Amino acid sequence: MLGLMRNTEGPVPARSLAGRLGEVRMDGELPRREDLAVVFDELDYQLGCQAYLWSLPLVSYAQWQLQHREVFGATNYDLVHYVSYRDRLGLITANATTPYILNFIDLGQTGSLVVELPPGPTAGGLSDFWQRECGILGEMGPDRGRGGKHLIVPPGQDLPDVDPSFYVHQATGMNVMFGFRTLDPDPQPSQALVDGVRITPFDGRPAPSTRIVSPDGRAWNGDQPRGLEYWVRLHEICQREIVDERDRFYQAMLRQLGIEKGKSFAPDARLVRILTEATAAGELMAQANSFAKRFPGALYWPDRHWDLVAQLDHSDQRGPGYDQLLERAAWFYEAVSFSEAMKSQTPGAGQAYLGSYTDAGGDWLDGARSYTLHIPANPPAKLFWSVTVYDIDTRCLIDNEQQRGDWGSRDAGLACNPDGSVDVYFGPAAPQGRESNWIQTLPGRHWFSYFRFYGPLEGYFDHRWKLGDITPVTAQTP
């Protein structure tokens, strides 16, 4: 009963509020009625900030899908083949070493469909627009590289009875990304594998032939839009998606912000202002959450400035007793796509990604300064390793005059030291005599770097092999 007792001795003193609600005038223990609008504005603003962080992976894929349709002219039945450096300039934290072949499919338009892969060394998968893996194809999938027909069934539909020649995948969303890589280093058979893929309706309806579409140097933008356009994209994809049980409270937030399934998005001037402010604040939170990670164990070596980039435990984004909201926001603000292979603990299998956002002294990496990175001999990667530079604002490959953003063990022109170690140089101008290992940065713009291990080995997992920090040239000893 003690918790129900009230103070009845005199008036309740006025509360003092700080921050965005500091201008609210109080009438005793309640806000003045004429100031309620300020309180509700703040409520909607906070809902917008949280909805922004929650929806980052969904809006990311929706934006990329829009680019496929409006910029490249790709249909549900086509594939877009990203080969050149310029092709990949719109792709968040793209690997600059290997090509991408992918498309975004709206199962609400196509119904169940079949992806037919030719036999050969490929690695591919399916993911929904929350970027959760829902199917594996190629050498790591059920076909084991032998090729075959993969049937993709929309969520909520019964799986059809099909002959054993089909591999059946139940999609976890109405929109899916299908993508794969060819693993043959010879470009001719690799291209033949790409040309051999077919995407067709399962029910036999006529459909356009599968085309291989090239970005062909066209400018495109795959990162999440800013301002009100973010919410326009979110509203549009929500019309075409199912609602997971875990997301019903977030859907209630969106409803308050004017985004509701089956209804148009027509925010008034007040809501436009609030949503625009929430997008800017949400992105600032996303930047801090990604580039200054505060997750336990994020720092890979205690005395180095390299983070374990992917903080997600599994592709389903679920932790023990909770869903990984901030871990998911950190990864999908700075990257796209996630698979279990990125968290492989089997030496020689999968990939590992480390990210550096600051120099050895903890300062943001500045495009006007010169830096070096020392890579000790024998990086523990079975297949290859690479170091890549990204623009901090777009999270895409750096768009420099050099039109190069990475160096790696597959590069024949990379100069090694006598002991097998490698020094990579970053800066606006090439260091004299070391041009072969240089990546050009842009004055006035910050950047960050990924170090990738393809097929990480024991020396990576047990932390015995240790990468150097990105070090300002002026801070180095002779």
Per-residue confidence at 478, pLDDT binned at 50, 70, 90? very low
Cite the beta strand spans of 188-243 per DSSP E.
198-201, 212-213
pTM: 0.93
Nearest to 27 by CA among 38, 19, 15: 15
Half-sphere exposure of 230 (CA within 13 A, CB side): 28
CB 48 within 8 A of CB 279: yes
Per-residue confidence at 7, pLDDT binned at 50, 70, 90? low
Question: What pLDDT digit, counting tens, does each position of 226-274 carry?
Answer: 999 999 999 999 999 999 999 999 999 999 999 999 999 999 999 999 9
Question: What pLDDT digit, counting tens, does each position of 441-463 carry?
Answer: 999 999 999 999 999 999 999 99
Q: What are 319's two structure tokens? A: 């932790």
Question: What pLDDT digit, counting tens, does each position of 285-316 carry?
Answer: 999 999 999 999 999 999 999 999 999 999 99
- What is the pLDDT at residue 1? 45
Mean pLDDT of the chain: 93
Amino acid present at 412: A
Half-sphere exposure of 2 (CA within 13 A, CB side): 0
Which domains can be identified in the chain, with CATH numbers?
32-71+220-290 (1.10.3360.10), 74-213 (2.60.40.1610), 292-475 (2.60.120.600)
